[in-house]
């Protein structure tokens, strides 16, 4: 197992190199000029040119890429062109809100989606199944920002139960932290709940038609025991796969959710960086997201072997 | 890992979270000594000389003081300066600082700090560059006095040092002011009424300022950027909210106190809320602009530029920008800000009355326009510019011109408009922008009317006669003389079609009703407002 983990971690290196090269090239050929944004509307063309020179944007692609790669290898993601702050510091400032949002959303989604998926499979074809699948279609169809605005309107503005926006670090208390995450997590998690619930239902239906389930029923096992102890465990590999894939969905959704709820996370940092063409920051964020995604895939693979003893690495 | 271990882990985490909740510090939220303000945009950098965006200037006014400050009549008043003296030949200006000025690090503000700050500012500011061109000496005489010796008189000296247009002449400690003006400072030490809390700064999310106890305000009442800057808050938080709907909801819910620029679509909702007050933010507003490229066909021919000018209907543009609220806009046959002392409409008749498409088409034919596509750069991420771009697309089509509509973002417009290539080779034909009314009150910050050819602003209009008149304005001694010169400049600029004003428009600000003494101006003033 350790050898497998080591191999997977080593494979990450060429993946990250490719991601780095790809992102750097993409930004190089993309239109836009950070110097023009920095200089402001009143700046003369000559001023913009001088700022471009100072930022080193007039240097050839290979020189800039080599310099940046060298920095990254030393663990330095560079400095934001706008703020003058290290990219690592900017990312570190934003990790907690995004991580909190993703973790709460993940927990919320799994806790809701798996049981309702199981229930839908158990009562397949009945009103409960139809209602749950109807809810899933809704979850897929309604954009995150629409759900976000609706939730904020009802639960913050009308009922005054929860805050409209913002984030409180967990160091300021558990409840302030959680109350700022409830609405964003529901908004972000809706599509995720729909996805997991549908997959759970589909895989459970397949498992529930297996012989050993019939045998279990024949020997008098209760529905709860059959569903949650025997069937769910065997249906869990595809479910875990979808949960893993869904992390990418969460990263994408976090960009919108963080904007709607003014959460200072990595999603908003990404948008700000792209709008301003803050190249070092964009590159740093994409590298971090890629690394997280590779890591999540590794964890999912390891969970497979924990869930299914036949899978060995 | 077995099930028991997992359960224990979850329990331990829960306990930790619960404990952290008990140990949490009391939040300052809701305190009358904390102001939560939603600015117009993100404070992405914090060097007002290096980056000249308005949002940077607005934040900088809290941290860095200025030698002079503009009052509501656009007259520069002494701020850090106690007295000034100009020699009888007008060539030597001597400035004396008022006593008690201190930087946030406790060091006294000295004349050498002012000299270094002026030197840095004057390398980036158009007016500063004009003075540098005639500068013989700028030096400190002693700790509180410095002099600026010129080779010829510069009557607008105080206007230059106190203007609100960016970049403003902020005073920094000498060690910071010695930084190259094209390189960002990395320390944020000023002598203004608030200190910047660097440790709390999260660009894109939060910028915080704390009261500087060592600040000694002037005795006079505050008026715009002049007078005693008495801030009634211990802490001011700039909460960055990119989404207007979120900012609106946060204001309604009392989570923020003041929103600098609510969009006009949301104003009716805010007005319905009894706890919210709404008013015009900046009475000097903005002037929309149809900027043309004078270097390349078709707009290198004044007849083509005039044809567009003849059919451009400012009402169409303004309704697209501000909607149906008639309080927010007015037509402007001028390059200068309405309601300011130097405003003139001379030569602006071409922008008034019925639009004459037949005459315009005839003019196009005379100019030999052969269907060359007009490359319109339209920033889709700036609502006002997007709206103006759509009107232009329709206008040019109705005029019979071919259109190359480039829908892009502001960052790309910023890059591409700097290109002097022909439109088909990466260049451009026109783009929309806006100019702050505060900048257009006189030629000081009104870079868009300059016609110095290659040295002019994007579009590079070339008209030595207009430049000559603008230069003479700097030497004018009386307001009547200034008015006369600018009337000529306006007429010549209309004839040359340096650019086409698309109208004058205002914006709103909104705040909670427990916040009092909120005033309007070209930037949000934080001295005066108080929370109940």
- Tens of pLDDT, residues A143-191: 989 999 999 999 999 999 999 999 999 999 999 999 999 999 999 999 9
Q: Which of A44, A164, A276 sits opposite B44 (nearest CB)?
A: A276
| Residues of chain A positioned with their CB less than 8 A from the CB of B53 | 40-41
Six-digit token string for B492: 């010549």
* pLDDT interval class at A130 (50, 70, 90): very high
pLDDT in the model for residue B306: 97
Interface probe for B, chosen from A1, A40, A178 (most Cβ of B below 10 Å), is A40
B212 CA to chain A: closest CA distance, Å? 23
- ∠ CA B208-B210-B211 to the nearest 5 degrees? 150
Interface probe for B, chosen from A1, A28, A35, A44 (most Cβ of B below 10 Å), is A44
| Residues of chain B positioned with their CB less than 8 A from the CB of A168 | 27
CB pairs under 8 A between A and B: 173
**pLDDT surpasses 70 at B16:** no
pLDDT in the model for residue A313: 66
A303: which residues sit within 8 A by CB, 6+ positions away?
A240
Closest Cα partner for B505 from B288, B254, B320, B342? B288
| Residues of chain B positioned with their CB less than 8 A from the CB of A278 | 44
CB contact under 8 Å between B245 and A32, yes or no, is no
- Whole-number Å distance between alpha carbons of A116 and B1: 27
Q: Which of A39, A40, A172 sits opposite B25 (nearest CB)?
A: A172
pLDDT in the model for residue B363: 96
What's the whole-number average pLDDT of chain B? 91
**pLDDT surpasses 60 at B28:** no
Q: Which long-range contacts (CB under 8 A, 24 or more apart) does B414-419 make?
A: B414/A32, B414/A33, B414/A36, B414/A37, B414/A48, B415/A31, B415/A32, B415/A33, B415/A36, B416/A31, B416/B377, B417/A36, B417/B291, B417/B377, B417/B458, B418/A33, B418/A36, B418/A45, B418/A48, B418/A49, B418/B458
A133 CA to chain B: closest CA distance, Å? 31
| Residues of chain A positioned with their CB less than 8 A from the CB of B3 | none
**pLDDT surpasses 50 at B24:** no
| Residues of chain B positioned with their CB less than 8 A from the CB of A79 | none
Higher per-residue pLDDT: A69 or B463 = B463
User: In terms of pTM, does the model score above 0.90?
Assistant: no
DSSP output for A19-63: HHHHHHHHHHHS---HHHHHH-TT--HHHHHHHHHHHTTTS-HHH
**pLDDT surpasses 90 at A1:** no
Q: What is the mean pLDDT of residues B254-262?
A: 95
Among all residues of chain A, which has the CA nearest to that of B184?
A: A84
**pLDDT surpasses 70 at B4:** no
Q: Which of A54, A165, A175 sits opposite B21 (nearest CB)?
A: A175
pLDDT in the model for residue B61: 96
Q: What is the mean pLDDT of residues B254-265?
A: 93
How far are the Cα atoms of A47, B71, B95, B415 from residue B419, in angstroms, in the given order? 14, 38, 42, 7
CB contact under 8 Å between A174 and B166, yes or no, is no
- Tens of pLDDT, residues B353-367: 999 999 999 999 999
pLDDT in the model for residue B411: 76
**pLDDT surpasses 80 at A14:** yes
* Backbone φ and ψ of A240, nearest 5°: -60, -40
A196: which residues sit within 8 A by CB, 6+ positions away?
A109, A110, A113, A114, A117, A239, A242, A243, A246
pLDDT in the model for residue B94: 98
Q: What is the mean pLDDT of residues B396-404?
A: 96
Higher per-residue pLDDT: B4 or B376 = B376
What's the whole-number average pLDDT of chain A? 88
pLDDT in the model for residue B303: 97
Interface probe for B, chosen from A29, A43, A169, A259 (most Cβ of B below 10 Å), is A43
pLDDT in the model for residue A58: 85
**pLDDT surpasses 50 at B5:** no
Q: What is the mean pLDDT of residues B401-413?
A: 89
Q: What is the mean pLDDT of residues A81-91?
A: 92
Q: Which of A163, A260, A275 sits opposite B255 (nearest CB)?
A: A163
DSSP output for B26-61: PP-TT-TTEEEEE-SS------TTT---HHHHHHHH
Q: What is the mean pLDDT of residues B408-428?
A: 86
A203 CA to chain B: closest CA distance, Å? 24
Q: What is the mean pLDDT of residues B173-202?
A: 95
- Tens of pLDDT, residues B50-103: 988 889 999 999 999 999 999 999 999 999 999 999 999 999 999 999 999 999
Q: Which of B44, B433, B447 sits opposite A272 (nearest CB)?
A: B44
pLDDT in the model for residue B285: 95
CB contact under 8 Å between B167 and A38, yes or no, is no
**pLDDT surpasses 50 at B27:** no
How far are the Cα atoms of A6, A35, A143, A151, B345 from residue A250, in angstroms, in the given order? 27, 32, 13, 18, 56
* pLDDT interval class at B282 (50, 70, 90): very high
* pLDDT interval class at A276 (50, 70, 90): confident
């Amino acid at each position: 197992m350790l050898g497998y983990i080591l191999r997977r971690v080593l494979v990450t290196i060429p993946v990250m190199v490719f991601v780095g090269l790809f992102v750097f090239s993409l930004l190089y050929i993309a239109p836009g000029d950070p110097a023009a944004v920095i200089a402001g509307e009143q700046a003369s063309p000559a001023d913009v040119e001088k700022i471009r020179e100072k930022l080193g944007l007039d240097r050839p692609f290979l020189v800039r890429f080599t310099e940046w790669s060298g920095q990254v290898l030393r663990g330095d993601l560079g400095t934001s062109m706008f703020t003058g702050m290290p990219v690592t510091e900017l990312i570190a400032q934003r990790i907690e809100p995004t991580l909190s949002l993703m973790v709460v959303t993940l927990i919320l989604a799994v806790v809701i989606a798996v049981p309702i998926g199981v229930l839908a499979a158990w009562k397949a074809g009945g009103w409960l199944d139809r209602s749950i699948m109807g809810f899933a279609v809704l979850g897929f169809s309604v954009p995150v920002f629409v759900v976000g605005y609706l939730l904020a309107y009802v639960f913050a503005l009308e009922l005054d139960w929860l805050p409209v926006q913002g984030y409180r670090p967990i160091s300021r208390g558990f409840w302030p932290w959680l109350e700022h995450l409830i609405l964003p997590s529901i908004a972000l998690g809706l599509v995720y709940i729909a996805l997991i619930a549908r997959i759970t239902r589909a895989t459970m239906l397949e498992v529930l038609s297996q012989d050993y389930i019939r045998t279990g029923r024949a020997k008098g096992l209760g529905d709860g025991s059959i569903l949650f102890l025997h069937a769910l465990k065997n249906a869990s590999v595809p479910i875990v796969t979808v949960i893993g894939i869904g992390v990418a969905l969460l990263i994408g959704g976090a960009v919108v959710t963080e904007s709607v709820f003014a959460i200072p996370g990595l999603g908003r940092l990404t948008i700000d960086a792209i709008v301003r063409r803050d190249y070092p920051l964009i590159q740093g964020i994409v590298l971090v997201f890629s690394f997280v995604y590779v890591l999540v895939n590794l964890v999912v693979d390891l969970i497979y072997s924990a869930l299914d003893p036949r899978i060995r690495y | 890992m077995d099930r028991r271990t997992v359960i224990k882990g979850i329990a331990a985490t829960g306990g930790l979270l619960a404990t952290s909740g008990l140990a949490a510090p009391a939040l300052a939220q809701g305190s009358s000594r904390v102001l939560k303000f939603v600015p117009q945009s993100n404070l992405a950098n914090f060097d007002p000389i290096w980056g000249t965006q308005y949002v940077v200037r607005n934040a900088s006014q809290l941290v860095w003081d200025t030698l002079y400050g503009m009052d509501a009549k656009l007259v520069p008043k002494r701020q850090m300066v106690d007295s000034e003296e100009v020699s009888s030949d007008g060539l030597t200006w001597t400035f004396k600082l008022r006593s008690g000025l201190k930087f946030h690090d406790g060091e006294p503000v000295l004349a050498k700090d002012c000299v270094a700050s002026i030197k840095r500012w004057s390398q980036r500011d158009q007016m500063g560059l004009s003075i540098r061109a005639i500068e013989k000496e700028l030096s400190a005489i002693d700790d509180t006095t410095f002099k600026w010796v010129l080779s010829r008189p510069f009557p607008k000296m105080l206007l230059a040092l106190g203007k609100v247009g960016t970049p403003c002449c902020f005073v920094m400690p000498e060690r910071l002011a010695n930084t190259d003006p094209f390189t960002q400072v990395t320390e944020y030490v000023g002598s203004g009424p608030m200190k910047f809390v660097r440790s709390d700064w999260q660009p894109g999310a939060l910028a915080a300022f704390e009261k500087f106890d060592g600040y000694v305000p002037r005795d006079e009442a505050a008026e715009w950027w002049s007078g005693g800057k008495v801030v009634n808050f211990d802490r001011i938080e700039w909460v960055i909210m990119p989404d207007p709907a979120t900012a609106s909801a946060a204001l309604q819910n009392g989570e923020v106190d003041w929103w600098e620029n609510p969009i006009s679509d949301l104003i009716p909702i805010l007005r319905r809320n009894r706890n919210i007050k709404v008013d015009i933010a900046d009475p000097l507003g903005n002037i929309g602009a149809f900027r043309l490229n004078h270097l390349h066909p078709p707009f290198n021919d004044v007849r083509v530029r005039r044809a567009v000018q003849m059919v451009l209907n400012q009402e169409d543009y303004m309704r697209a920008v501000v909607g149906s609220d008639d309080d927010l806009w007015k037509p402007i046959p001028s390059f200068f800000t309405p309601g300011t002392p130097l405003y003139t409409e001379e030569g602006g008749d071409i922008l008034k009355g019925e639009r004459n498409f037949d005459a315009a088409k005839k003019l196009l034919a005379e100019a030999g326009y052969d269907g060359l596509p007009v490359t319109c750069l339209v920033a889709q991420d700036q609502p006002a510019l997007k709206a103006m771009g759509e009107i232009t697309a329709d206008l040019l089509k109705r005029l019979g011109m071919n259109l190359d509509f480039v829908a892009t973002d502001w960052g790309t417009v910023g890059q591409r408009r700097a290109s002097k290539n022909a439109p088909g080779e990466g260049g451009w034909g026109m783009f929309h922008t806006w100019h702050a009314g505060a900048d257009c009150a006189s030629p000081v910050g009104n870079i868009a009317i300059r016609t110095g050819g290659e040295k002019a602003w994007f579009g590079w209009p070339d008209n030595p006669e207009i430049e000559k008149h603008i230069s003479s304005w700097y030497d004018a001694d009386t307001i009547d003389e200034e008015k006369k010169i600018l009337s000529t400049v306006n007429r010549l600029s209309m004839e040359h079609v340096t650019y086409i004003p698309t109208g004058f428009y205002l914006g709103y600000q909104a705040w909670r009703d427990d916040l009092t003494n909120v005033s309007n101006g070209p930037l949000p003033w934080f001295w005066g407002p108080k929370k109940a």
